[in-house]
A and B are shown apart, each in its own frame.
Chain A
Amino acid sequence: MPFGLLKYGLSSEYPAQQHFSPPGDLKKHYDVVIIGAGGHGTGIAYHLAKYHGITNVAILEKSYLGGGNTARNTAVIRSNYLTEEGVRFYRESVKLWQNLSNEFDYNVMLENRGQLTLAHSDAAVRSFRWRAEVNKHMGVRSELVDRQQIAELVPNLRMAEDARFPIMAGLWHADGATARHDAVVWGYARGACQRGVELHQLTEVQDVEITAGRVSAVRTNRGRVGCGAVVQAVAGASSVVANMAGIKLPIHSYPLQAMVTQPYKPLLTPHVSSPHVHVYVHQTSRGEFVIGGGSDPSPLYNTRATLEQRESLSAAALELFPFLAQARLLRQWAGTTDMTPDYSPIMGLSPVENYYLDAGWGTWGFKATPICGVSMAELVATQKVPDIIAPFALERFYRFEQINEAGATAASH
């Protein structure tokens, strides 16, 4: 609309679009309280409001919208996992990503770039073949590729045979993608707020009141809020929040650091990761190279950046892309990853009747955002655990039925 744009440009006022509900007072009671306004929390609220007609919902966020691990992850979307349960779950999420911008009419800047994982040992080649077969069986595009195919996919990757860890083969995952993390949480939050959900930022849940095995209220820094049900979606603080409800989780919280270089012209299309040298690299649409890797060596609730990690990430990235030696780093940051023993999430029911868990999101939370919105909202609305998340129940650790995805991480944490 050129005239509309001209009128807007000549106007003395620039009315900004109101995305979210203006901050108001907390009500005395909500049907559902969601703790945490990240991608998962806002996604659950959006699906509750749009598909289940539950709109008396509050999202309580101690900081600001999407400022936790939604903002701190490296935005990798993929489904090339190892177990049937894991592949099925992430496959559905990748499908939902494809239509997410249309779903809430907000551009999440999805880019289907593919993901290449590198093998530097015979054992890795064997495990890649295993993953490729499981993936193909489950309808996920994964295939084993040889050195020549790798060189064609990523022409500027260092393929030297005298490298410290020569590249032997790769796992090519055409379904790999990336998206703009802020847009995901804004799209969900806007869609939820349009349907009556209240977003309360700077509202920290400090305690959970439980009477006769049920949550009756949460206490916040802005007062007590009664609730019919509570969902916790607080990656990085899962144990701390669950502890308020008297729930112990199989989680250790580790910092995971990443960094970006100055922008360059487009040089690298797919995500490239190497579990062996503990690094993954991709280039954003802005041109920055994102470099991420393994977790810190011991648990910590702190998002400081360390020189040790910068050194090891740089060394690993240069093994693969020596031209980055000239690059200047713009930023380095950390997110807190809630690592579970089997590298799969903890979703579903908890020992408290109306308290639902969306926890243990370690290093795999961003890619699962859309399917979490769908499946957790269905759980809260129907109080029946959807089949797709049933294997991820907290109870699996008592039944010794872990879903081991430790072999399917991008950078071996």
Chain B
Amino acid sequence: MKILTCPLNGPRNMSEFTYGGEYHPTPDHADASAREWAEHVFFHHNTAGVVTEWWCHNASSYWFLAERNTLTDEVLRTFDCDQVYNQRIDFPAVTTPEARK
């Protein structure tokens, strides 16, 4: 059984984790177009090589990031997502139809 090191729970069996997709920087919520959102949600680099991706430790529902080589399946490192999301994002209420577009 492969072992993955969870930043919160330490080394655990691979079967305790769920893959959560490629990490993409979130588009600017204030002015991203529908096309940019579509790209963010559906499209992937799908790189053959080292990628950054989301993983979840099922038992603790803890989401974190991992760098993994998609040619060899080697995990280079795992880290807490506060290394990427280190600024507070405030979502102002959208009021007008124009602002929703």
Contact = CB atoms under 8 A, between A and B. Distances in A.
Same complex: yes
A297 interface: yes
A397 B38 contact: yes
B30 interface: no
Interface residues on A, range: 20 to 34
B72 interface: yes
B62 interface: no
A239 B43 CA distance: 10
Interface stretch (A63-71, A102-110, A245-253): A245-253
B46 A302 contact: no
Contacts of B68: 298
Contact of A239 (B14, B19, B44, B71): B44
A397 B48 CA distance: 23
A14 interface: no
A299 B19 contact: yes
Interface string B60-91: 00000000101111000000000000000000
A270 to B, nearest CB: 33
Contacts of B53: 298
Contact of A248 (B15, B21, B45): B45
Given A240-B48, A398-B35, A297 B42 contact: no
A237 B71 CA distance: 12
A301 B70 contact: yes
A265 to B, nearest CB: 37
A263 B68 CA distance: 39
Given A240-B48, A302-B73, A398 B18 contact: no
A386 interface: no
Contact of A250 (B15, B43, B48, B72): B43
B2 to A, nearest CB: 8
Interface residues of B, number: 24
B19 to A, nearest CB: 4
A104 B1 CA distance: 48
B101 to A, nearest CB: 15
A308 B38 CA distance: 35
Interface in B26-67: 34-35, 38-39, 42-48, 53
Contacts of B48: 237, 240, 301
A341 B42 contact: yes
A342 to B, nearest CB: 9
A252 to B, nearest CB: 6
B77 to A, nearest CB: 16
A341 B45 CA distance: 14
Nearest to A307: B1
A248 B46 CA distance: 9
B43 A397 contact: yes
8 contacts: A239-B47, A248-B39, A253-B70, A297-B19, A298-B19, A301-B71, A302-B73, A398-B35
Interface of A: 237, 239-240, 243, 248-253, 297-302, 308, 341, 397-398, 400
Given A249-B46, A299-B19, A302-B72, 10 more contacts: A249-B43, A249-B44, A252-B22, A252-B46, A253-B46, A300-B73, A301-B70, A302-B73, A398-B34, A398-B35
